[in-house]
Amino acid sequence: MLSKEERRGRQALRGHESCWSFATVDLGGLASGGRLQQFPGGPLPTLNLLKLD
């Protein structure tokens, strides 16, 4: 999951996602994206995002 203030920086990281074995999720800036990822309290840490073939 990506949280970064600069849009160009997030786009640059997303450009390399094919090199990784993971998909990326752009959560926007640090303030809003950080709240989504925060544990406890944020909604994302409790989600199972694993995709099995």
pLDDT in tens, the chain (53 residues): 667 777 777 777 766 666 766 777 778 888 888 888 888 888 888 888 777 76
Per-residue confidence (pLDDT) for residue 13, from 0 to 100: 72
Cα gap 12→38, rounded to integer Å: 24
**pLDDT for the residue 18:** 66
Model pLDDT, residue 53: 67
**First-to-final CA distance of the chain:** 21
Q: Which residues contact 38 (CB under 8 A, 6 or more apart)?
A: 45
